[in-house]
Amino acid sequence: MPSLNGSTSVNGSSKFLDYQNAVEVLKQYETRDGLSIEDLIDTKQRGGLTYNDFLVLPGYIGFAASEVALDSPITKRITLKTPFVSSPMDTVTEHEMAIHMALQGGLGVIHHNCSADAQADMVRKVKRYENGFIVDPVVISKETTVEEARALKEKWGFGGFPVTESGKIGSKLLGIVTNRDLQFEDDGSQPVDKVMVTDLVTAQLGVTLPEANKILAKSRKGKLPIVDKDFNLESMISRSDLTKNLHFPLASKLPDSKQLICAAAIGTRPEDKIRLQKLVDAGLDIVILDSSQGNSMYQIDMVKWIKQEYPSLDVIGGNVVTREQAANLIAAGVDGLRIGMGSGSACITQEVMAVGRPQAAAVYSVSNFAAKFGVPCIADGGVQNVGHIVKGLALGASTVMMGGLLAGTTESPGTSFVSREGKLVKAYRGMGSIDAMQDKKAGAGGKNSQASNAGTARYFSEGDSVLVAQGVSGAVAHRGSISKFVPYLAAGLKHSMQDCGQRSLKELHESAANGTLRFEIRTASAQLEGNVNMESYEKKLYA
């Protein structure tokens, strides 16, 4: 026995239990340490909580963070491999954001503060970015000029167009015009049959996708046309898609077409039915009905109409913050719900309208109710960091929607500029801001553009003579590319779930429901303690 240099007393006692029985002694306690999710979100006792008001208690780490699965449903029928969604705001999500969010395993929702044709074009760009068999390729005729082919490349963002006799699919294949054929051609008026490649490698109709990919890989060509016995073009595959499969294994894609999943927002006005038809024709997979208050006769009627007219199209309703709101939309047939009212970084609805709900309380109440009917929920708003993402998911959300957190990335459509402090920032505004509600792009510059504006529609202000702002305009710090920022968020989420002892989001939800996952309230002093307490420091989020 080694010599001691002090008292053996601990907490006033010198008689101890056998340390080997510590786990058994733990069972004598009536409850686990901390609070259950029901005790945490008890609004009668604690009021409405936000994400900053609580913490998730740690569990047991018995696995590597890389083993954590982040698969989670966005609708009843569609699952994402990364539970991140970009908001349908005009300074957050257009086709660039939608493409890169999908490549990272998430989803981008294209805003509708633009003309219907412009929004449909963005949907097409997302759907054409990656394919398996391209069944509707951009086809040109031999009379198409070099200049016209260049214009098509500029429009669609890719080159390599098959040339057929009629300029349509199903016609005899004559050749392919590639970027290299057009790059150094001085005479833009000459027809493409003078510069096109005619030495083609093709595959016969009926070939499987794996077989076609092998042929393409061996051919060292950029495109592989699929032809019938008469050499009529039926479809094609692209080498760039093979490369994308290697670089983006988590990409959100449809199992059959291998195209990226695309979502877009619309309002609930009669003219939005015409807009939706154009979006569906462009290949839309998920439509989000965009409203600050989703429990309305307008949205309920729109949900029922969409489910009847487009049964294969998934519909996400919202926004809602109470069970009562959610029940009406679930009964109408929504495939998913969007939760949040007034909690966004650029939103002032709670301040101006005195209506809304703290986000943590809203997410738990709605998602717990919606789960009874198999309806996934999006936690929309109030997310400022990885920790908030974790908390939103722990409270029952299937995915998390972000606006301000993604507005500073390279892929957002906001304008970059240097602030007065000399920092690189990007413009960001709420859809309820006066700037957004007065934007005339949705009305194509018409006299009554206010009636077509996505901001006024979202806040039921189309016919108002005086616009009441429910959002603000400003700027957010530049965060670099989505290709680095989203993997950082995903890595942070995985490590947090490892700390909690949860291997998957499904397990996280089950542990919260059965009381295994525990929580703790944070006082104001606890929040101060949990932040940095230094005279000066540099906060670098990832490397």
Q: Which residues lie across from 72 on neighbouring strands?
A: 80
Residue 39 makes CB contacts below 8 A (sequence gap 6+) with: none
- Cβ(368)–Cβ(437) under 8 Å? no
Contact 203, 212 (CB under 8 A): yes
- Taking the C-alpha atoms of residue 247 and residue 498, their distance in angstroms, rounded to an integer, is 26
Token pair recorded at residue 466: 């005086």
Q: Which two tokens stand for residue 355?
A: 């209506």
- Concatenate the DSSP letters of all residues of 480-524 into one string: B-HHHHHHHHHHHHHHHHHHHT-SBHHHHHHHHHHT-S-EEE--H
Question: CA–CA separation, 500 vs 451, rounded Å?
Answer: 48
**Phi/psi of residue 172, nearest 5 degrees:** -65, 130
Q: Are strands 424-429 and 473-477 parallel, antiparallel or unpaired?
A: antiparallel
Query: Please, is 208 exposed, middle or buried when counting C-beta atoms within 10 Å of its C-beta (0-12, 13-18, 19+)?
Result: exposed
Nearest to 239 by CA among 321, 337, 131: 131
Q: Which residues are catalytic?
A: 347, 458
User: How far, in Å, CA of 153 to CA of 283, rounded?
Assistant: 20
Strand partners, 227: 204, 233
Q: Are strands 286-289 and 263-266 parallel, antiparallel or unpaired?
A: parallel
The contacts of residue 204 (CB under 8 Å, 6+ apart) are 226, 227, 228, 229
Q: Around Cβ 465, how many Cβ atoms within 10 Å?
A: 5
> How many whole angstroms separate alpha carbon 392 and alpha carbon 83?
11
- Of the candidates 413, 428, 450, 462, the one whose C-alpha atom is nearest the C-alpha of residue 347 is 428
Q: Which residues contact 38 (CB under 8 A, 6 or more apart)?
A: none
Beta bridge partners of 440: none
Residues in the chain: 543
Cβ atoms of 71 and 398 closer than 8 Å: no
Among candidate residues 236, 239, 205, the one with its CA nearest the CA of residue 219: 239
CA contacts within 13 A on the Cβ side of 173: 28
Alpha helices in 283-385 (DSSP H): 297-309, 323-332, 349-353, 359-370
Phi (first) and psi of residue 411, to 5 degrees: -80, -10
Nearest to 237 by CA among 222, 249, 248, 220: 222
How many Å apart are CA 46 and CA 523, to the nearest integer? 12
